[in-house]
Amino acid sequence: MTAVLACRGLTARYGGSTALSDVTLEVPAGAMVGVVGANGAGKSTLVNALAGWSRGRPDISGEVRLGGATLDGVSAHERARRGLVLVPEGKGIFHELTVEENLALVRAPEDSAGRHVFDRDEVLGLFPRLGERLRHRGGALSGGERQMLALGRALLAAPRVLMLDEPSIGLAPRLVLDLLVSVRGLVDRGLPVLLVEQNVRAALEVVDRVFLLERGRVVGQGTAAAMRDDPRIVEAYLGALVR
């Protein structure tokens, strides 16, 4: 399978400390790839570096390619316009804008080649709750509704690849699986997804491939089925007794 999104030797440094070291990764067309690891392993740094985005000021090196074209020197907003769409961890919507305004901020590209286009009706069909809350401000939504809105606006951007950073944070366990199953449904329609998830058990249920990060390095990778039996994953995330 061809890689829609790929990075090679991706490294991120904050001052003297290295948050991400020499990461090479691919997201194939139509696949869902998971990145798992402990807190501070560099998962968010990885997706942020791919998106060319950060709230801090890291030094990034290495190569990122989207659809075969290099993104070297391409700004975060331009990467989003080209279809590399990130839903960041935590705050992914504007709290002072209404649901309607959050959704209307995103404009679909004129050239939709290679993009997965979703219109407003489709998004509201996927998340009917948003349709009932169109005039509410983002800050007045529940955690689950905010995540739906963040995902909804990401779909309206007609992603080539969708990157989700810890979408399960703050959600009830039942909602987590519902959300991930919804995302899996999008993948089955052809949308490639890169999922960063601390809830390894839930992630393994839906992804095709998994990358295991430790201290900023990829220390293991494979299919979800194979990684389910990886002793490092079993011991650290699934519990040794489960075997």
Q: Which residues ranging from 199 to 238 are in contact with another protein (CB under 8 A)?
A: none
Residues 188 and 206: their CA atoms lie apart, in Å, by 11
Burial degree of 111 (CB within 10 A; 0-12, 13-18, 19+): exposed
Touching another protein, residues 81-100 (CB under 8 A) = 81, 85-88, 91-92, 94-97
Burial degree of 126 (CB within 10 A; 0-12, 13-18, 19+): middle
Q: Which is nearer to another protein, 9 or 56 (CB)?
A: 56
Using CB under 8 A as the binding rule, whether residue 101 contacts another protein is answered as yes
110 binds another protein (CB under 8 A): no
Q: Does 104 bind another protein (CB under 8 A)?
A: yes
Q: How far is the CB of 115 from another protein (least distance, A)?
A: 12
**Token pair of 180, please?**
């991930």
Q: Kindly tell me which of 91 and 232 has the beta carbon lying closer to another protein.
A: 91
Both tokens of residue 215? 């201290």
Binding piece for another protein, criterion CB under 8 A, among 4-12, 73-81, 124-132, 233-241: 73-81
Residue 183 CA to residue 19 CA, distance in Å, equals 28
> What CA–CA distance (Å, rounded) separates 53 from 75?
8
Q: Which residues bind another protein (CB under 8 A)?
A: 51, 53, 55, 75-78, 80-81, 85-88, 91-92, 94-97, 101, 104-107, 153, 157
